[in-house]
Amino acid sequence: LPDDAAQIPVRVRPEIAALPAYQQGKQAGADAFKLSSNENPFDPLPGVLEAVHAATALNRYPDATAGRLRERLAERFGVEQSSVHVGAGSVSILTQLVLATSGPGDEVIFAWRSFEAYPWLAIVAGATPVQVPLTDDARHDLPAMAAAVTPRTRAIIVCSPNNPTGPIVTQAEFDAFLALVPRDVLVILDEAYAEFITDPDAVDGLRVLGTQGHPNVVALRTFSKAFGLAGLRVGYAIGHPRILDAARSTSIPLSVTAQAEVAALASLDAEDALLERVRTIAARRDALAAALRETGWRVPDAQGNFVWLPGGAETMQIAAAFDAAGLIVRPFAGEGLRISVGEEDSVEKVLSIAASVVKDLP
């Protein structure tokens, strides 16, 4: 096939042609631990697998609005069903929310470094990404984010706990931030890792929505992380029906499969058992972060299912050392490495490599 742009007359939007390809966390070989995508290391529960196997009507389209799951989530969180929206992973709902609010000339504000999809989906919408640096301790700088609002700002994404650095936003910080943000700007609170939080001061999107009536806030959660369904793609948003209806209007119809919906329902049935696993992962995370700090690493507060090693200029060499030891981690060149809290046996290995490479840091 010709690879010369002159021979391919189809015009791709220049901002799309300039986008780098999505970098998926590497797949691990048989004897390696994959700690690069913040996945849940536990196998699916038998009841969840059975529900997926029982959903056999593959010749039929799924329910376009995932009505049973929305009803169940509405009950679970004490909101109206119209305040719940389900999507094929929370990243698809994020995309819908940005498409619904932000177009060419509009600005989408988020912290940086944060989830790599944020600049990508702003650009896909034709909007301008506005990145506000994290503080020195790798937290959101919410006053600076509020100060970055202009008349062109249409959406702000707040990620708590922040992927990839780990810290939460506190409820008090978030309340103060909301008081500064114009009410016609959508605030997306991305809580993909909410269930792993152990800090009682963390913002809780549902509390914000429930008690203070901020119609411009949408909370975003997922079954991918704590509930271990990353492969099935199902996430949800809770917020004002008018905003969720607008998001739904931009969505690819029928993208939540029947299997994803029943697996999510079965996971809610098994919520206690799944949250017990979450507690195990959170305890493993706390032990890992504490041990890393003892070896000299400046690990920021870790409230998700991952820890952040600030590797600076040495990041890629450090990642290579992990790789050579059979530990697939997620490096961000020049900044640091994100390591998911995985299988029990991976923790000692992570610690031993981290302890050996820290000695070579300047």
Footprint of ligand PMP on this chain (CB under 6 A)? 38, 89-91, 115, 159, 163, 190, 192, 222, 224, 230, 235
Residues 6 or more apart from 59 whose CB is under 8 A from it? Answer: none
Q: How far is the CB of 8 from ligand PMP (least distance, A)?
A: 31
* Cβ neighbours of residue 265 closer than 8 Å, sequence gap 6 or more: 51, 68, 69, 72
Cα–Cα–Cα angle for 47, 48, 50, rounded to 5 degrees? 65
Beta carbon nearer to ligand PMP, 163 or 251: 163
Minimum distance, C-beta of residue 91 to ligand PMP, in the bound complex (Å): 3
Smallest distance, Å, CB 31 to ligand PMP?
25
CB atoms under 10 Å from CB of 57, counted, come to: 8
Q: Which residues pair with 112 in a beta bridge?
A: 133
In the bound complex, what is the minimum distance in angstroms from residue 49's beta carbon to ligand PMP?
19
Q: What is the largest CA-CA distance in the chain?
A: 60
Residue for token pair 């631990």: 33
Cis peptide before 164 (omega within 30 of 0): yes
Rounded CA-CA distance 325/321 in Å is 6
Q: Which is nearer to ligand PMP, 295 or 301 (CB)?
A: 301
CB nearer to ligand PMP: pick between 91 and 270: 91
CB of 294 to ligand PMP, least distance (A): 27
CB 212, CB 204: distance < 8 Å? no
26 vs 325 by CB, closer to ligand PMP: 26
Residue 115 vs 308, nearer CB to ligand PMP: 115
- What minimum distance in Å lies between the beta carbon of 92 and ligand PMP? 7
Q: Which residues partner with 87 through β-bridges? A: 235
Question: Do residues 132 and 110 make contact, with C-beta atoms less than 8 angstroms apart?
Answer: yes
**C-beta of 12: minimal distance to ligand PMP in Å?**
25
Assign 346 to helix, strand or coil.
helix
CB 182 within 8 A of CB 214: no
- As a whole number of angstroms, the distance between CA 67 and CA 75 comes to 12
Q: How far is the CB of 296 from ligand PMP (least distance, A)?
A: 27
Minimum CB separation from ligand PMP for residue 59, in Å? 27
The number of angstroms, rounded, from the C-alpha of 219 to the middle of its chain's C-alpha atoms is 12
Cβ closest to ligand PMP, residue 25 vs residue 295: 25
Q: What is the CA radius of gyration of the chain?
A: 21
Q: Report the residue number, 115 or 322, with the smaller CB distance to ligand PMP.
A: 115
- State which amino acid sits at residue 239: G
The residue nearest ligand PMP at its CB is: 89
* Centroid of chain to Cα 79: 23
Of 90 and 153, nearer to ligand PMP (C-beta) is 90
87 vs 311 by CB, closer to ligand PMP: 87
| Nearest CB to ligand PMP, comparing residues 224 and 315 | 224
Task: Specify burial of residue 99 (Cβ count, 10 A radius: 0-12, 13-18, 19+).
Answer: buried
- DSSP class per residue in 255-291: -S-HHHHHHHHHHHHTHHHHHHHHHHHHHHHHHHHHH
What minimum distance in Å lies between the beta carbon of 203 and ligand PMP?
Answer: 14
